[in-house]
Structure 1
């Protein structure tokens, strides 16, 4: 049954106990009931009973990050993730947005899910960064006056270097233990290519043949989590076609992995695709999840680094993957892992949230940066490209000189014996 058909029951599961309130980033920021999960469910109930989707109601839905912290905290098992995605799809179908809103949303969704378009942007963006013009533009504030969303896009872009291109097959080192398909992602693939390269090396060093389809496209995560259901289904079908012959699909981006595990619900009402989507969701694994299931084989060499580990919301809350990254990092000699205060509070990235709600996102990013800085760590580790960009930008605003890396890059440095210099000083 679809979430739309099941809506009355899903809404009725909420007993308005308030356990979700201290976990909700926007409620923590503003203390506004209608900007809490409980308040938004009340608005959803009003709409289900006939109230129109007016501008104030839609604003409260738009201001939700979709971080799913409330799902983890809820003692009644309320499926807020399904509720907010269903509601956002209704908003996109029924609510007429302003011309300015439509323009920025179309710009985002015509760019970020398309690797070739992002790749075409790399050259000009890299030249812009190397020229120093970026610093001048930020000091002038001209982009903020044109559009806070455009200013956020410019500000969040990571420093770009040369982008290594992965082959379509990377052979296992030593005896083969598994064959895996690897999702390279859109933003991950073009803005963080080093993460993908490290992921492939780690998998190979742990005895995996790695198949990296060259024709893979967007998984649909950004579209799915923004209410663009038809677009998300089209991306999902293509991803299923690309990867369904794989025994297991390894994903190193939390948002992408979460979306692919949701295909079973996204395509549940499509007779031609439901079983295929269910099968793909069942064999999708986050990198850390898969490596812990596989078990270590390659030698871990010492890394005398102190790092802070950040729980990406779509990894910890949506996928329930919390212990596995810590177990992997904890197995590296001389590595010290620090916990960050308020670990369940979103950093403000949330897919497109930091572009569409830049003020709230910046406030959450700054709060996260304070907590990261307080650990005294010299390296921040996250498992999602959006989180990496968001927190790195907030740390820069704070003047905190903390490098940023992915779990795969830390493992790669240890397995190859590269030492701490391979990580400290890294900004992407």
Structure 2
């Protein structure tokens, strides 16, 4: 059903009330990655809100320039943090992107590329098969041969491939991990899809660290994608289906918290209550699950450290993943957790508010601006001369590694804490 006075349909269009909150003051401009790259008003948050306003009034269509400027947005939410008026750009963007996906016919190559991403990444079994092929591909020497002839999107996807370790890609996490002492919290762990296949060691470190701090950790075997990729890309049906599956997996577990170690996943799971708000069967169930979701550093920051830490005389730079810092407002907790390690020197990055260019599937579908932002972030890392870079999102790890090279190791915060508690070679 379509409102004849609007270019949006009537299914959750951008709210007129939220659109009117923006007073176009410009405080968002210094923190917007695409505005910093191009200086183009329509590629700033206030410019995109102006376009949404015109579309809501039916004065412009969704195809063409409107879609181009919305697609160019990373969805990093730095503007939400910087806005003095409290404009909920995150809600506006997440209402606008599904409208585009429903009503704008993309070029065949664009549609097929996006479909391929969603046919692969949310499925662990398919990712494991891809890991086998990826390992063979990496060892074949083809990546170097094809680097100059591949289209930009495929070249970017190839460059982002992590070093594949089949043993970890096919490893299974223990379903239950108990602490050696009294149980302080009982938690469930989201193992994820991409995280569990390509960053399995982060999940294993998460279980070990939580257990060392007195948590009993339940990790349901039958769990999959939480819907984050679909939610941030405007694929509402995908996001809703995955959210329901994740809620059904975790809601019956007798736990104090649902722990997430991926910034984008945690952000989306905290939004389940909004995503399913008008679904009478799922709304309350979504609210209860969302209320339990905690980033792993949030939970660890709530617990007085119990496990002894080894001294680590290391200069560590911390990169705020956008969906942890901006979307969830979790900034102090990761730093506080890292500072429990004796000797560790923690430094912040210049232009810390600017996205690294990962942004879900952005660095694959928008490779040129993502490359500029990735190189800029790498330069800012080098500027503070760290011995180690730490960030809480696999997309950020892959993106920054691509432009930083092998000079500076990259780790998730729980991996650093795990090394301090159990030693660099594990327990």
Deviations 1:372-426 (A, max 9, x none): 0111112110100000000000112xxx60111100100000011338xx8xxxx
Whole-angstrom CA distance in 2 between matches of 1:3 and 1:336: 50
Distance 1:6 1:401, change over 3 A: closer
- Are 2:122 and 2:193, in contact at CA under 8 Å, matched by a contact in 1? yes
Q: Which residue of 2 aligns with 1:152?
A: 156
Measured after TM superposition, the shift of residue 130 of structure 1 is: 3.0
Q: Which residue of 2 aligns with 1:218?
A: 225
Q: Which residue of 1 aligns with 2:191?
A: 184
- Are 2:243 and 2:269, in contact at CA under 8 Å, matched by a contact in 1? yes
Measured after TM superposition, the shift of residue 173 of structure 1 is: 2.3
Q: Which residue of 2 aligns with 1:121?
A: 130
Q: Which residue of 2 aligns with 1:426?
A: none
Q: Matches of residues 93-112 of structure 1 in structure 2 within 5 Å?
A: 93-112=102-121
Whole-angstrom CA distance in 1 between matches of 2:172 and 2:61: 49
- Does 1:256 pair with 2:265? yes
- Does 1:272 pair with 2:278? no
Measured after TM superposition, the shift of residue 43 of structure 1 is: 0.3
Measured after TM superposition, the shift of residue 44 of structure 1 is: 0.2
Whole-angstrom CA distance in 1 between matches of 2:348 and 2:303: 25
Q: Which residue of 1 aligns with 2:45?
A: 37
- Does 1:335 pair with 2:344? yes
Deviations 1:18-46 (A, max 9, x none): 00011100000000000000000000001
Deviations 1:69-125 (A, max 9, x none): 000000111000010111101000111111011100100111111111101111111
Whole-angstrom CA distance in 1 between matches of 2:47 and 2:122: 32
Whole-angstrom CA distance in 1 between matches of 2:370 and 2:424: 35
- Are 1:20 and 1:70, in contact at CA under 8 Å, matched by a contact in 2? yes
Whole-angstrom CA distance in 2 between matches of 1:55 and 1:255: 28
Q: Which residue of 2 aligns with 1:416?
A: 422
Whole-angstrom CA distance in 2 between matches of 1:130 and 1:329: 36
Secondary structure of 1:298's counterpart equals coil
Q: Which residue of 2 aligns with 1:75?
A: 84
Whole-angstrom CA distance in 2 between matches of 1:44 and 1:336: 44
TM-score by length of 2: 0.94
When structure 1 is superposed on structure 2, of 273-282 and 295-304 the one drifting more is 295-304
Measured after TM superposition, the shift of residue 165 of structure 1 is: 2.2
Whole-angstrom CA distance in 2 between matches of 1:32 and 1:405: 35
Q: Which residue of 2 aligns with 1:7?
A: 15
Q: Which residue of 2 aligns with 1:425?
A: none
Measured after TM superposition, the shift of residue 6 of structure 1 is: 6.5
- Are 1:263 and 1:278, in contact at CA under 8 Å, matched by a contact in 2? yes
- Does 1:197 pair with 2:197? no
Whole-angstrom CA distance in 2 between matches of 1:346 and 1:5: 27
- Does 1:24 pair with 2:32? yes
Unpaired segments ≥5 residues, structure 1: 423-428
Whole-angstrom CA distance in 2 between matches of 1:77 and 1:94: 29
Measured after TM superposition, the shift of residue 3 of structure 1 is: 8.8
Q: Which residue of 1 aligns with 2:63?
A: 54
- Are 2:14 and 2:56, in contact at CA under 8 Å, matched by a contact in 1? no
Q: 2:174 aligns with which of 167, 170, 173?
A: 167
Secondary structure of 2:120's counterpart equals coil
- Write out the 4+ residue segments of structure 1 that deviate beyond 2 Å after TM superposition: 2-6, 130-138
Distance 1:3 1:18, change over 3 A: farther
- Are 2:387 and 2:408, in contact at CA under 8 Å, matched by a contact in 1? yes
Whole-angstrom CA distance in 2 between matches of 1:252 and 1:3: 32
Whole-angstrom CA distance in 2 between matches of 1:198 and 1:132: 32
Measured after TM superposition, the shift of residue 245 of structure 1 is: 2.4
Secondary structure of 1:181's counterpart equals strand
Secondary structure of 2:233's counterpart equals coil
Q: CA RMSD of the aligned region, Å?
A: 1.4
